[in-house]
C-alpha cells in the first residue's frame, strides 16, 4: 500500500472483514469499559486476536481505530431514531414520541459511556469530538430536520435545521450534564416528562407560525 492510500481503500477478503469486525467489537467494548487513554492496542489485540501490523494497516493508529468505533456507535444509536419516526398522529403526539425515543437513546449505557469519553478526551483529541458530533448529533439534527420539513409544507431547510437543533438541545436540559458529571442530585422522570412537554409545545408553536 502506498503512502497516499487510505486503509479503507484496500478491499478486504472475507477473512479480513471478519477480523476487522472482531477488532471493532473488542475496541468498542474496551473503550466503553475503560475509556480512551486506558485502552491500549495490546489489550485490543489480546481480546480480538490478530496482530499490530494488521491493525495499523486497517486503522493506522489508536485514534483512527477510535474514530471508526465512534462512527459505528453513533450510526447504531441515531439510526433507529430516524428509521422509527412515527407517521400517524397529531404533530404534538408525533414529536412527543420522537422526544422520548431521543432521551432513551441518550440515556442508553453505550451512548452515555461514549459521551463521557468524548467530553473527557475531546480537549486533548479534538478529532474525537469532531467525529462524535458530526456523525452523531449533526446527523440526528439532519434527520429530524428532514422530518419537520416533510410534515410542515413551507418550512425552509435552514429554518428546519435550526428548529431541530434547538428542540433536541432543549429536551435534556441540564439533566444530561448532571448525569455525565455524576452529581448526587439527578433530574426525576417527572421533571424530564415536563421538559418533553414544554419542548414539544414550543416546537409545535414554531411550526404553526410557518406560512
Find the CATH number of the domain harbouring 121.
1.10.357.10
Q: Tell me whether residue 157 is in a domain.
A: yes
Whether residues 124 and 28 fall in one domain: no
Whether residues 22 and 106 fall in one domain: no
Whether residues 108 and 192 fall in one domain: yes
Q: What are the pLDDT tens digits along the chain (211 aa)?
A: 333 344 455 555 667 688 888 888 899 899 888 888 889 999 999 998 888 888 888 888 888 888 888 888 877 777 666 666 666 778 898 899 889 989 998 998 888 888 888 888 888 888 888 888 888 888 889 889 988 998 899 999 999 999 999 999 999 999 999 999 899 999 999 999 999 999 999 999 999 999 7
Whether residues 191 and 113 fall in one domain: yes
Q: Tell me whether residue 1 is in a domain.
A: no
Whether residues 26 and 75 fall in one domain: no
Whether residues 115 and 190 fall in one domain: yes
Q: Tell me whether residue 144 is in a domain.
A: yes
Q: Tell me whether residue 75 is in a domain.
A: yes
C-alpha dist (Å) from residue 8 to 52, 53, 64, 70, 115: 16, 15, 11, 16, 26
Q: Tell me whether residue 100 is in a domain.
A: yes
In our burial notation (b when 16+ CB lie closer than 10 A, e otherwise), range 77-104 reads: bbeebbeebeeeeeeeebbbbbbebbbe
The pLDDT assigned to 1 comes to 38
Q: Is the distance from CB of 176 to CB of 161 less than 8 angstroms?
A: no
Interatomic CA distance for residues 11 and 205, integer angstroms? 51
Whether residues 139 and 181 fall in one domain: yes
Residue 93 neighbours by CB under 8 Å, 6+ apart: 86
The pLDDT assigned to 3 comes to 39
Q: Is the distance from CB of 195 to CB of 173 less than 8 angstroms?
A: yes
For 1-7, the CB contacts below 8 A with 24+ separation are 1/57, 7/57, 7/58, 7/59, 7/60, 7/64
Whether residues 49 and 88 fall in one domain: no
Residue count of the chain: 211
Whether residues 100 and 161 fall in one domain: yes
The pLDDT assigned to 90 comes to 84
Q: Tell me whether residue 72 is in a domain.
A: yes
Whether residues 113 and 53 fall in one domain: no
Interatomic CA distance for residues 104 and 143, integer angstroms? 17
What is the number of alpha carbons within 13 Å of residue 78 lying toward its C-beta? 20
The pLDDT assigned to 145 comes to 92
Whether residues 153 and 175 fall in one domain: yes
Q: Is the distance from CB of 58 to CB of 23 less than 8 angstroms?
A: yes
Number of compact structural domains in the chain: 2
Residue where the block lists cell 489480546: 46
Instruction: Specify the CATH number for the domain of residue 48.
Output: 1.10.10.60
Prediction pTM value: 0.78
Q: Tell me whether residue 77 is in a domain.
A: yes
Question: Which domain, by its residues, includes 36?
Answer: 7-60
Q: Tell me whether residue 15 is in a domain.
A: yes
Last residue of one domain, picked from the residues 60, 82, 103: 60
Amino acid at each position: 500500500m502506498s503512502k497516499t492510500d487510505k486503509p479503507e481503500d484496500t478491499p478486504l477478503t472475507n477473512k479480513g472483514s471478519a477480523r476487522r469486525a472482531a477488532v471493532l467489537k473488542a475496541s468498542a467494548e474496551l473503550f466503553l469499559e475503560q475509556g480512551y487513554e486506558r485502552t491500549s492496542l495490546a489489550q485490543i489485540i489480546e481480546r480480538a486476536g490478530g496482530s499490530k501490523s494488521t491493525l495499523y494497516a486497517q486503522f493506522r493508529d489508536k485514534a483512527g481505530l477510535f474514530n471508526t468505533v465512534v462512527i459505528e456507535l453513533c450510526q447504531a444509536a441515531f439510526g433507529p431514531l430516524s428509521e422509527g419516526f412515527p407517521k400517524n398522529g397529531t404533530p404534538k403526539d408525533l414529536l412527543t414520541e420522537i422526544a422520548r425515543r431521543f432521551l432513551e437513546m441518550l440515556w442508553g449505557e453505550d451512548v452515555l459511556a461514549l459521551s463521557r469519553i468524548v467530553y473527557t478526551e475531546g480537549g486533548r483529541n479534538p478529532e474525537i469530538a469532531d467525529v462524535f458530533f458530526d456523525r452523531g448529533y449533526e446527523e440526528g439534527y439532519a434527520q429530524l430536520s428532514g422530518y419537520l420539513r416533510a410534515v410542515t409544507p413551507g418550512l425552509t431547510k435552514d429554518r428546519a435545521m435550526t428548529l431541530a437543533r434547538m428542540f433536541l438541545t432543549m429536551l435534556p436540559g441540564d439533566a444530561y450534564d448532571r448525569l455525565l458529571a455524576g452529581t448526587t442530585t439527578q433530574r426525576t422522570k417527572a421533571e424530564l416528562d415536563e421538559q418533553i412537554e414544554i419542548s414539544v409545545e414550543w416546537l409545535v408553536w414554531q411550526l404553526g407560525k410557518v406560512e
